[in-house]
A = this chain, B = another copy of it.
Amino acid sequence: MENLAHTLQQRREKLAQLIDFPVILWSGGASPRNFPANRYPFRASSHFLYFAGLQLENAAIRLHQGKLELFINPPKEGSNLWHGDTPQPRELAETIGADAVYTMNELILHSSEAATIPVQDAKTYQKQMLVLDRAIAPAHQPMGIDLELTKAIIALRLCHDPTALMELREAAHATVKAHQAGRRAIAAAKTEAEVRAAMEAVLISEQMTCAYTSIVTVHGEVLHNDHYHHPLQPGDLILMDVGAETTTGWAGDVTRTWAVSGTFSPTQQAIYDVVLAAHDVCIEAIAPGVEYQSIHLLAAQIIAQGLVDLEILRGNPEDLVAQDAHALFFPHGIGHLLGLDVHDMEDLGDLAGYAPGRKRSDRFGLKFLRLHRPLETGMVVTIEPGFYQVPAILNHPTTREKYQHLVNWDRLEQFADVRGIRIEDDVLVTATGKEVLTADLETQ
């Protein structure tokens, strides 16, 4: 753990180079499920985790000029009957290299002029305002020193240090294992739920959690499908979007789409090859300095070209992309930042994902893009092109009319057995180009 203390020291020293006011970050509290003692698994705020390294509940840290102070209460009298011996505050302080340790009650005595970022649970958010004795704007619209702090943390968290990369590799490794188990489980599985079970069992075995709600479905056209009751039928595709999260909060995020029967139909294979080509070319294009949006548009271009070749779209791929025709079938972004959050720093709205001065486009083909920055060495991003037949899009009267002549609707009907395909990997931007963290997982 000496390594952890060293890493945390480097992180707060970098922070001190960017801002000179004190910072207090809260970890948050566990959310109750159906009664107070029956709680969801606790997950500390990512900003806290970045500088504190441990999932400490109801704790706070104060960072100032490279110093770290930990605020946490000792275990309650009698808690060892229920929870065993838990580390004392002094031991925790030593593990993370804190310069001092106090109880949470003492936090108010050290709260003067401090900046913060709101946590997710409403109770702790109230406490943050009480302790700082002021309003705190929502995390996606920070004001004053909170905005300065937010920008500084984004600058740090955008590009990962070696400890973060070690964690991300661990998450990627477990995610790959889960996907391998999922693919193996398909043949014997009767429902989506059984494949999901095989995948999540790997994560539980590895003492990890899911970085997000797993998507394991034969209805890949529902982008955030969280139902698992459908039976698996021989002609179906099964889309599996499952990612591991390490004990200290770092995420993996991978999607694979396989044929339930083990063999794609000719139409499924044809579309799969288009998506895979987009996947491969986009990853190949990753390098420092490259605009992520250009990678998104590259995917759009390849998908449009592929669909023209398959006679589903009509026209010139560039013109089709300019008219957002690709987005009829690829209605989301090519990917996003990956780090302590699966959509890293999305609690900050687009402040992390979009470079200063940039705003979301209104264009159908761009508005769901979560990342619009030039890539930098040390960033980890996902690349996740897809093809979907979403009834809500394809049957929408306005869409239907607008794209009446660009889509060969009769030809499209021949591809009815392709409801949704996505292929997603996690990619580190390196000085010389890129490294696919999830490269051990096959795409064919």
Contacts and interface: CB of A to CB of B under 8 A. Distances in A.
A222 B84 contact: yes
A235 to B, nearest CB: 20
A248 B64 CA distance: 49
Contact of A38 (B123, B205, B212, B390): B212
Contacts of A222: 80, 82-84
Given A84-B219, A201-B197, A32 B343 contact: no
A400 B316 CA distance: 85
A212 B33 CA distance: 9
B229 A207 contact: yes
A346 B78 CA distance: 20
Interface in A179-216: 191, 193-194, 196-198, 200-202, 204-207, 212-213
A323 interface: no
Interface stretch (A39-47, A148-156, A403-411): A39-47
- Counting every copy of the chain, the complex holds 2
Interface residues of A, number: 63
B193 A197 contact: no
B223 A392 contact: no
Contacts of A204: 193, 196-197, 200-201, 228
Nearest to A122: B122
A331 B81 CA distance: 9
A121 B120 contact: no
22 contacts: A31-B121, A34-B120, A34-B347, A35-B46, A36-B346, A37-B346, A38-B212, A38-B341, A38-B346, A40-B40, A80-B222, A82-B223, A84-B221, A84-B222, A191-B207, A193-B204, A193-B205, A194-B205, A196-B204, A197-B200, A197-B204, A198-B201
